[in-house]
Structure 1
């Protein structure tokens, strides 16, 4: 029903990103909400598209960005008029490729042409606006990479992988070196710490440390970093808080989010002493 309401009221301008009509309103704890015509609130535009427009479920309480990456690849290929063979060899099997295009036609993101084959579908106005939205809202880890098999695998591994541990921490840190805002593990004056490095906007866009937090031991630092890895999509916004205000403001903000999240529990301090 939500998807039907959204389609009935939305004006799909191919020159504007999908969701341009959503109303941005503040939330109590962390960030803003995108409000639809019927009052439904979404934490992100991608959430509004995936859950509201497509009426699809979340995966592990998250929007599956790897699936949206596949949709973006398929729709972008139709803009270029590219044939399907490179895509289904690189990303999907032929059967999945055919089903994807049939589904995109059923969702009115592609329209049939003279051949009447979904594989030759042409972008609708909404399909074009979806391409624009998916491009400007791509997850931070893959924002500067061309969509393809490598970015899909990265999103699966980093964003949706439930496993924790040192392997994931190292993988995130390696990828984060190229991002505009990155939390990194460091040792400061002999103590374990987490820093936030942010790339400047000047003619020489070097990375500078805008926030740091020393921890009592490595275990505490890694527990904090695990939690930060679970919130990769918030790193750019948190970098802006540290840069616009100060480190203490970001510390207070992170504490508020952690309390609301209730997902950071120190293994040795989750009891009265």
Structure 2
């Protein structure tokens, strides 16, 4: 299969994933210089970035996917993303952002500050490629408009409009492998996080984490905060599953605190 070469700098309204110009030759892919790779990811990792083929490549590619996805959605706050993606390691975060700008997957803004960078066209193409080739495949959520409505919903709007948006969001996310949902148990208004437990022979869906609220509006405010960050849910579920519910609570509280503040010095 031959795909027309667009090149990494090409622009169009709906960009194709990085590597769409490669040619399929048997079980390999071939670039315009005749170099062959076992996969598109290998062509990118070795051919584009010049990195060696080592055993920890998959984990680094998944980190890159998460960072590019966060950049595409836009930093909610620098500090929040530093804590969420780099576990508070400021040096690693600063270096990683400088590296992305240096390889032209991101472009610095705010007077050249790489910490507020946004994706370049090639960065978006790489994000699309990594998503399409992820294992398991990254599930794109067709809920951008709903999430935006939830984020801007407020108590002073038309009666029932906020609840309608929240219910629409829950319907869209109900089939995810893991996700947050609202529940009411007696007088407690709750948010629960469920996912597939693989401890036994038969994977079973169970609750990894829950949090109760005395007031439904407070519960829905928090659920709206979670909705805007739906692209992080799978990783948060992994924290609760592997490290326990208390660890996820601590993580979310840290993120909420940092997202509400000004974050670390951008210099």
TM-score by length of 1: 0.49
| Correspondence for 2:83 among 29, 35, 39 | 29
Select the residue among 201, 207, 210 that pairs with 1:212. 210
SS at match of 2:175: coil
Closer, same or farther: CA 157–205 of 1 in aligned 2, 3 Å: farther
Which residue is 1:15 aligned to?
Answer: 39
Distance 1:12 1:32 in 2: 34
Q: Name the structure 1 match of 2:105.
A: 53
Decide whether the 8 Å contact of 2:196 with 2:205 is kept in 1.
yes
User: How far 1:31 sits from its partner (Å)?
Assistant: 2.2
Once the two structures are TM-superposed, the CA of residue 221 in structure 1 deviates from its matched residue by: 0.3
Paired residue for 1:111? Answer: none
Q: Tell me, which stretches of 5 or more residues in structure 2 are unaligned?
A: 1-7, 10-34, 52-59, 68-80, 110-115, 154-161, 262-267
1:151-207 CA-to-partner distances (Å, cap 9, x unmatched) read 6xx243245555433233212211222111110000124310101001233654332
From 192, 197, 206, the counterpart of 1:200 = 197
Residue 245 of structure 1: CA displacement?
1.4
Q: Distance in 2 between matches of 1:195 and 1:171?
A: 17
Give how far 1:216 is off: 1.4
The structure 2 residue matched to 1:169, chosen from 163, 166, 171, is 166
Instruction: Give 1:178's aligned residue.
Output: 175
- The CA distance in 1 between the partners of 2:174 and 2:195, in whole Å, is 10
Shift of 1:130: 6.8
TM-score of the two chains, using structure 2 as the length reference: 0.50
Matched, 1:156 2:144: yes
Query: Shift of residue 131 of structure 1?
Result: 5.9
**SS at structure 1 position matched to 2:83:** coil
**Distance in 2 separating the partners of 1:13 and 1:210:** 40
Quote the residue 1:230 is aligned against: 228
Corresponding residue for residue 188 of structure 2: 191
